[in-house]
Amino acid sequence: MAVEGCTGVVATPAEGVAPIGENAHVANGGTGILTAEATPETARRTWPQWLALGLAMIAVAVVAVLWDAAGARLLLGALGLFLVVRGAVLLRAARTRGLDREVAPRARRLGTAALAGGALALVVAVASPGLAATVLLVGVPVLLLVAAGALLARPGRTARRGGQALLLWSVLVTGLLVVTGFAQGWDRAAEVATVVAAVAVAVLGVPLLVAAVHLRTIAARPVPSAPVGCGGCACGAGGCGS
């Protein structure tokens, strides 16, 4: 599809297909908007989603801590649901023509892995409370160590410091779980792992709330008005003196 402007023909994305830049954020995990400046249009569409996700994460964490009988199942089920939805979004983006040839395969691989892992987590959460607690007992220190390694591998002093702090926290948590398991039993260690996972989920929800507030501020900015007599048909193509 093409739109004819004042100075020629300007190619536009196909109908129903998001621009490449927007889908690239999806394929890269969707975290770019936390650090990049969004346009007012994107901010208006995105800030309610980040707000809802941040509030949901904090709510799930609080309920998981207070609900001793099913806290592990709630956390694992919520994680599984998130991965299933995220995987479906990535696979949908990979099937569109809005992604280039380099990003599409990565989105497809990430989407498939997220969908499969999320479905497995949902099955475990529904099937067995004990198995869900065991998964958290093993998974919490492993995920913390993996996240610390990922931060340490990233360039930049801030990322390295964050990775070092997370690595120290990971070692302390792992030691606490092991000591608790041998001293008070592995069921008690699984309860501690559930609390640690809930705290981590709540902490991860805070940046989403901060990002939502920031995006809400951007969304409230007025749209720049076009010059008098300008239909806006060629500005994007470099016409009309732009």
Q: What is the pTM of this model?
A: 0.70
**Residue 35 in domain:** no
**Residue 74 in domain:** yes
Q: Range of 197's domain?
A: 47-219
**Residue 37 in domain:** no
**Residue 99 in domain:** yes
DSSP label at residue 233: S
**Residue 190 in domain:** yes
Please give the chain's pLDDT, 242 residues, in tens: 433 443 433 333 333 334 434 444 444 444 444 545 678 888 888 888 889 999 999 999 999 999 888 889 999 999 999 999 988 888 888 787 666 777 778 888 888 898 999 999 999 999 888 899 999 999 899 998 998 888 888 888 888 898 888 899 999 999 999 999 999 999 899 999 999 999 999 998 999 999 999 888 888 877 666 555 555 555 555 555 54
The string over 32-43, giving b where at least 16 C-beta atoms fall within 10 Å of a residue's C-beta and e elsewhere, is ebeeeebebebb
**Residue 70 in domain:** yes
The domain total for the chain is: 1
How big is the chain, counted in residues? Answer: 242
Rounded Cα–Cα distance for residues 61 and 57 (Å)? 6
**Residue 128 in domain:** yes
Rounded Cα–Cα distance for residues 113 and 90 (Å)? 10
Among candidates 192, 205, 93, which has minimal Cα distance to 141?
Answer: 192
